[in-house]
Amino acid sequence: MIVDETCVKADFKQLPGQQFYFAYKRGNVSDKCKTIKVIKFAKKFLVWQRICFCGLKSKTFFTSGTINQEMHIQKCLEKRLSPLIRSHKDSVIFWPDLEMAHYARATLGWYSNNNIEVVLKTVNPPNIEKYWAIVKCKLKKTGRIATNERNFKRMWDATCDTMTNDDVQALM
């Protein structure tokens, strides 16, 4: 079972991604149409959800603040993770990211008290997010577009191959 949280801007127009505009004639488009103002410290929400390899998802938890260990245990683990784990017939291994609340002493105690097997922090790859960010940056620099899943996989794998074992070890 995979753990993840993400921050999402409340103004969806300010989310990263391609934006388009239409012009009836070339050169007659004002800068107002070509650019989007971005608020530096825009309102964001933290979204918490657990996704299982089998395709099941936990209910989502939203907050406009951060999640401390008490909130993590009460709102996320007890109310959302537990029902998801109980819906499985087989045992589940919980794989949190390296968010501090996931490995807080009280959280580790909760896992133990609820017989939840968890990937320990010492064996959890700490910088996988950095690895993905580097690969995505390299892909972005190519300026190419994946036309289908097979094409995407080929480009992703080729870009990953540019990362040497030393590069990956340095991140880990």
Beta-bridge partner residues of 51: 2, 57
pTM check: above 0.85: no
Residues of the chain falling short of pLDDT 70: 1-4, 8, 12-22, 34, 36, 53, 55, 125-129, 169, 171-172
| pLDDT tens track for 117-151 | 988 888 876 555 677 778 787 888 787 777 777 77
What pLDDT shows up at residue 106?
93
Question: Same domain for 84 and 143?
Answer: no
CB environment 23-42: b (16+ within 10 A), e (fewer): eeeeeeeeeeeeeeeeeeee
Does residue 134 share a domain with residue 96? Answer: no
- How far apart are alpha carbons 162 and 165 in whole angstroms? 10
Q: What integer pLDDT is reported at residue 129 of this predicted model? A: 64
Domain that holds residue 34: 2-123
CATH code at position 66 = 3.30.420.10
